Amino acid sequence: MEHKQSLANLFSSMMHKFVLAYGKVLDADISGSQVYMLEILENEGSKRSTELAAQLEISLPAVTNLSNKLVKKGYVERSIPAEDRRVTNLHITPAGSAVLERIMSKYYHLTDTIWADFSSEELAQLLQYYEKMVANLETYQPDKE
């Protein structure tokens, strides 16, 4: 139990420092949620707002708010497919891809800094540990008190 408490404290400290550093990676006019939306659109292609809401685990009005801001900046465009005029798809623009590439370059520099002193073996182990932690987070259910 002692190790779990120490890990929890160290993980909390690392997350706080990472969040602060990640904030410096972002451009002043774009939020982490907007970057995540751009990543999804870049990697998976055009999406409906309902699909994005499910992936981002946020409400449909929140997706609308995020997408309105990204459309205004020219990073995302809306399109209506001819086969179903009731649907609106969102897709990333070349300007959105460029801003995402710039942010991801800074992000990779940040993560390279974090892992700078790790050996190849340690990185391989860390990769396994992170895969396990991500899988565990997939099953996380907040306490209902």
Give the structural domain span for 86. 2-116
Tally the domains of the chain. 1
CATH number of the domain at 13, please.
1.10.10.10
Query: How far apart are the C-alpha atoms of 114 and 133, rounded to whole Å?
Result: 18
So what's the pLDDT on residue 144?
57
pLDDT at 56 over 60: yes
Q: Is residue 137 part of a domain?
A: no
Does any domain span residue 141? no
Query: Residue 62 above 70 pLDDT?
Result: yes
Is residue 54 domain-resident? Answer: yes
**pLDDT (average), residues 55-80:** 94
**Average pLDDT value for residue range 56-69:** 93
Q: Does 81 fall in a domain?
A: yes
Judge whether 135 lies within some domain: no
Kindly state the percentage of the chain with pLDDT values over 70.
Answer: 98
Q: What is the pLDDT of residue 1?
A: 64
Output the pLDDT for position 86.
78
Q: Is 128 inside a domain boundary?
A: no
Q: Name the burial class of residue 1, with classes exposed (0-12), middle (13-18) and buried (19+) by CB atoms within 10 angstroms of its CB.
A: exposed
